[in-house]
Copies of this chain bind each other. A is one copy, B any other.
């Protein structure tokens, strides 16, 4: 193997929800590559003080991946960072896409992907156990797939009875995408279906709101929000003076 490259998931936010191996990789970094806020978080989480921070816009993922692979071949130890898990709508796919299209020597690099706690797991843990049954994870990001693909996936996921987690639910380019998604789901699911907006879980500004599908509005979400839509087995537990818990029954009769 020639060269070493880490692709690291930093977890949802707080330094207590990163894995130990991810922390260790940060301390070995000569270069940190990622979206600005994640690079800043990597520094705060204990990355080597000598590491060079390469902060880039979040839309330049393939360029960033090629840069990291080039650095790895030069004998440096680049660490590409993502929030949550790098394999879930993070940098891991871009890195392998770059390898696939790049010089064959990149296939000899020792690429170590270190998993992390992705947003849906962190959000669910704050709410109770809404993922108790089968579930799916869908990105509503505006620039990666056509609307008809997204609408079909939402409809089939609802018909399948999955709990549905929506990442990247809002964007400037398509501010109405989430409302259109709710409309698709209303065609299939009961208006009483639980909908949870989990914002900035584990970070400053954390906020959790719950409603039902009939009343859900896209404006309740921003790009830091994870939207969770329950299924027919999702239940609510009322608590006096505190937010309710939600859980999904493991068993389907």
Contacts and interface: CB of A to CB of B under 8 A. Distances in A.
Interface of A: 9, 11-12, 14-21, 23-24, 61, 85-89, 92-97, 99-100, 107-108, 111, 113-118, 121-122, 124-126, 128-139, 144-146, 149, 152-153, 156-157, 159-162, 235, 237-240, 245, 247-252
Contacts of A161: 149, 153
A58 B121 CA distance: 22
A125 B87 contact: yes
A146 B252 CA distance: 7
A181 to B, nearest CB: 13
A137 B139 contact: no
Contacts of A97: 247, 249-250
A87 to B, nearest CB: 5
Number of this chain's copies in the complex: 2
14 contacts: A87-B129, A92-B125, A93-B131, A93-B247, A95-B129, A100-B237, A108-B239, A114-B125, A115-B122, A135-B136, A137-B137, A144-B250, A145-B252, A156-B157
Contact of A15 (B20, B87, B95, B131): B20
A115 B237 CA distance: 20
10 closest A-B pairs (Cβ-Cβ)?
A93-B132, A96-B247, A92-B129, A136-B136, A16-B21, A145-B252, A156-B160, A113-B125, A93-B129, A115-B121
A11 B22 CA distance: 13
A250 B93 contact: yes
Contacts of A20: 15-18, 20, 23
